[in-house]
Amino acid sequence: MTTFGKLTTSALLGLGLLTTSLYADADKGQRLYQKKLKATCGMTGAVFAAKHTQMEWEEAKESGNLAEMMTEACPEGKSFFESGKFKSKFEEHLYDFVHDFASDSGNIPSC
């Protein structure tokens, strides 16, 4: 393999790895809920996500009130939802999780 081929392959692999971590992921949101919120909220992820419809979760995200709506669904997690880490690292993944498993989605998570 030529040097050009090796560089091209390396660049494509690197770009592929970088881009996959930038997108939100409902599965990652489910794992985050299980690890960080399930015990605190005292309910399964299915119950938490089904507190609202997909449209309600979507409107909250667009208006910037997602943390407030999640706090209403789980008051015990208020400090988590108000943290800077939630906004910077977890919000997109948890949004995808609750949107994918909302009350009108027909989907049921395994957590």
Which pLDDT does position 14 carry in this prediction?
A: 60
Q: Identify which of 34, 49, 36 has the alpha carbon closest to the alpha carbon of residue 105.
A: 49
Which pLDDT does position 78 carry in this prediction?
A: 95
For 77, the token pair is: 């997690």
Collect all residues with Cβ–Cβ distance below 8 Å to 52 and sequence separation of at least 6.
60, 69, 73, 98, 102, 103
Mean pLDDT, residues 36-63 taken together: 95
pLDDT, greater one: 24 or 67: 67
* pLDDT of 21 over the 50 cut: no
Which pLDDT does position 59 carry in this prediction?
A: 97
**Residue 59 amino acid letter:** E
pLDDT digits (tens, 9 = 90+) for 63-104: 999 999 999 999 999 999 999 999 999 999 999 999 999 999
Q: State residue 23 phi and psi, 5-degree precision.
A: -90, 145
Mean pLDDT of the chain: 87
